[in-house]
Amino acid sequence: MEAVSGTIMELVRAHAAAAPPIVFLLAFGESLAFISLLLPATVLLVGGGGIVGAAGIGFWPVWGAAFAGAVIGDWVSYWVGAYYKETVGSLWPLSRYPLLLPRGQAFFARWGAAGVFLGRFFGPLRSVMPLVAGICAMPMVPFQIANLASAVLWATVVLAPGWITAEWLL
């Protein structure tokens, strides 16, 4: 097992420049409506935080990539909801989860901008809250405030534990 982990670390170190773009794509996919239902990126990012930490790659470029991917993914999802409105629920893969959109709408009706913020941290809600905010015509400024604030915390929460553990163990 030690040989495998050593090989992985060398591979990551040799391709350190690829870490931020990969993290950006994972965070974007995790935050993008539709894709986030299919991509287990949070688990990959938590583990990736440890891998890049152990490989000696700087935290802030990787964190910035996670933050940017999360913000842009939610922004695109908001736009899709604002443009397509209720018809978005009939598109795959949301059509496979018919209760997800109504649950997101109920959550949004109760919590508003706080729901957009909180939704980032709860599995399936992460994929629908920005979409629902767009469908419900939430004003852009409160949406972006919730989007930016939640992305700062989310990027830290998914990357820091693995990173800190790797720093502590090595």
Q: How far is CA 109 from CA 14, 51, 113, in A?
A: 48, 40, 10
Looking at residue 130, its amino acid is P
| Structure-token pair, residue 39 | 């991509």
pTM (2 d.p.): 0.86
Helix-strand-coil split of the chain, %, nearest 5: 85, 0, 15
pLDDT over threshold 90, residue 157: yes
Q: Which amino acid is at 91?
A: L
Kindly state the average pLDDT of the residues 123-140.
87
Report the range out of 8-22, 99-113, 151-165 with the highest average pLDDT.
151-165
Q: What are the boundaries of each domain within the chain?
A: 2-169
Say if residue 69's pLDDT is above 90. Answer: yes
Instruction: Give the model confidence (pLDDT) of 71-115 as tens digits.
Output: 999 999 999 999 998 888 787 777 787 887 888 888 888 888 998
